[in-house]
Amino acid sequence: ATVFLQQFGRGLRLHKGKDHLTVLDFVGHSRAEFSYKDRFEALIGRHSRNIREEIEGGFTNAPFGCKIVLEEKAKEEILANIDGYLRSLNRSRIVKEIATYHKVCNGSFSLKGFLAYSHIPFHKIYGSLTWGEMCQMACVQSNVSVHSAQIKFAVTKKWLATDSFSYFTQLLRFVESGFRCDTLTFSEQQKRCAVMLYYDLYDKAGTYASIEEMFRDLASDQLFIQELREVVDYLRDRCSAPEKADNSVYKEWNPLRLHGVYSKAQIQAALGLSTIERKSPSREGVERLKDIKLEAMYVDIIKKREEGSMTAYKDYAQNREFFHWETQNRVREGSREAEAYRNGENNMLLFVRQQVEHPDYGCRMGFTYLGQVTMKSIEGSKPMQIVWHLNTPMSEATYAFASQYKAIG
């Protein structure tokens, strides 16, 4: 007999033949940990297509002769439940999902394929372990990279907050060569990208004596290369920053792209403020490299106010071409720093981010590179008020958060 499943009200009507009718309380209010994902997968079986796509697409993989129809309200509740389930995923559940995917993937096992199949957010994979370590726990991989800690550090502390197709493309070139590169032939931009990668993997200087030594070490770890290729390829695909060519006087060697989003450590490595032998100690909102007259400004639009502070924090975009910035409190009219700003002694590069902590990933947010700026006006004292003119207007997406300034806490 034909089996017919039809959503009726807030229940599920199961019709088998002509004489039997069963109504299941299928979409009623349930405990938060209850998973409709598991229930639907039990009904239709496991496939390479994820269950969210099945629901949204009308259950095209339901068993032959069966049909599942959901009312819009029921569909919304089920999808919300699935989203809640995914947010609450722990390590053991993810390992179970990996093992199941390995059985149904038809030999095309990959990180990208698993993410598409399971609908598990990428950052959940690296919440406590790496992809390789998860696969080992799921018994689909025997060993893990000796650099697993470095992969996890790069993903969770740097790359989740990085949005630069050009940077990830260069990393992918390093990886696809197996790190067997002749570093002596690198362009200046490639050298600086290699130092950026170093600070993505390590939190302090001096782990290696040179980029050549780092590449030799990484080239000997095939599991590291395999995982990094999958990770970087996935992260590159999800980039959305509208990158443009650098507009600064440093564009010949600067690997940063206008409107790309980078961690502070990546910026410092790109500009030469950090080298593989020495990491920049700067924690302030400005940083200078006197030899080449470079000054980088790091601006948080939403600032966490220190206890007892009454500072107004007037850093914000006036429009897409002009940015209002306050100097540090010590800078007064007539001071050496004030005169340097007034006379345009340094080449000013502007980096902005919405706030310190990323609202989704628990890491620090990356800075959007707004390129070189020139002074339009300067006034006040301790702090001084400067309006910078952007040589290239910021994107609409950046202006949307950069025009809203406030202090919290």
* Domain that residue 350 falls in: 282-408
- With H, G, I as helix, E, B as strand and everything else as coil, classify residue 291: helix
Do 164 and 262 lie in one domain? The reply is yes
Residue 269 has pLDDT above 90, yes or no: yes
Convert the pLDDT of each residue in 45-61 to its tens digit.
544 456 666 777 666 66
Tokens representing 132 are: 């390789």
31 found inside a domain: yes
Convert the pLDDT of each residue in 150-206 to its tens digit.
999 999 999 999 999 999 999 999 999 999 999 999 999 999 999 999 999 999 999
302 found inside a domain: yes
Do 187 and 271 lie in one domain? The reply is yes
390 found inside a domain: yes
297 found inside a domain: yes
Q: DSSP string covering 100-128, please?
A: HHHHHSTT---HHHHHHHH---HHHHTTT
> What is the pLDDT, as a whole number, of residue 329?
87
Between residues 406 and 375, the one the model is more confident about: 375
Q: What is the C-alpha to C-alpha distance for residues 6 and 2, in angstroms, rounded to an integer?
A: 13
Do 177 and 78 lie in one domain? The reply is no
Tokens representing 261 are: 């989003």
> What is the pLDDT, as a whole number, of residue 82?
67
Do 186 and 218 lie in one domain? The reply is yes
Convert the pLDDT of each residue in 366-404 to its tens digit.
999 999 999 999 999 989 999 999 999 999 999 999 998
Q: What is the C-alpha to C-alpha distance for residues 334 and 294, in angstroms, rounded to an integer?
A: 21
All residues at 6 or more sequence positions from 260 whose CB lies less than 8 Å from its CB, including other chains: 163, 164, 165, 166, 167, 241, 243, 368, 369
Mean pLDDT over the full length of the chain = 85
Residue 407 pLDDT class (50, 70, 90 cuts): very low
Do 164 and 235 lie in one domain? The reply is yes
Helix extents (H) in 164-263? 165-176, 188-201, 211-219, 222-237
Residue 87 pLDDT class (50, 70, 90 cuts): low
Tokens representing 250 are: 């440093």
> What is the pLDDT, as a whole number, of residue 99?
95
* Rounded average pLDDT over 72-95: 76
* Rounded average pLDDT over 272-287: 94
Do 216 and 325 lie in one domain? The reply is no
